[in-house]
Amino acid sequence: HDALPILERMERITDKQRRYIFVLVRNYADLTKYTPEEAREILTIIYCHQNSVPSFSLSDCSQERASDFIEFILKYTEEWGK
């Protein structure tokens, strides 16, 4: 039972993922003229709605969720920019 917290920490979002998400969010904010906070909230709401998942925090979400969110932001902003 001591392994569970270690496993959870290992699977938690990495600092590199978090920083990348914030860069992507800032880019979207620059495109849309939203503040970075508004942009992150908007992107999170759209992502959660499209994927039927509950809202999540970038402070402790899983690496898998972070990867999915990164892919979503890249695709979404690419479509938005067209």
* Mean pLDDT of all residues in 32-45: 97
pLDDT at 3 over 60: no
Give me the pLDDT at residue 60, please.
87
How far apart CA 33 and CA 12 sit, in angstroms, is 31
Give me the pLDDT at residue 1, please.
47
What is the reported pTM? Answer: 0.85
> Cα 14–18–20 angle (5° rounding)?
115
**41 close to 58: Cβ distance less than 8 angstroms:** no
Helix or strand holding residue 54 (H, E):
none
Give me the pLDDT at residue 80, please.
73
Amino acid present at 70: I
pLDDT at 78 over 60: yes
pLDDT at 43 over 90: yes
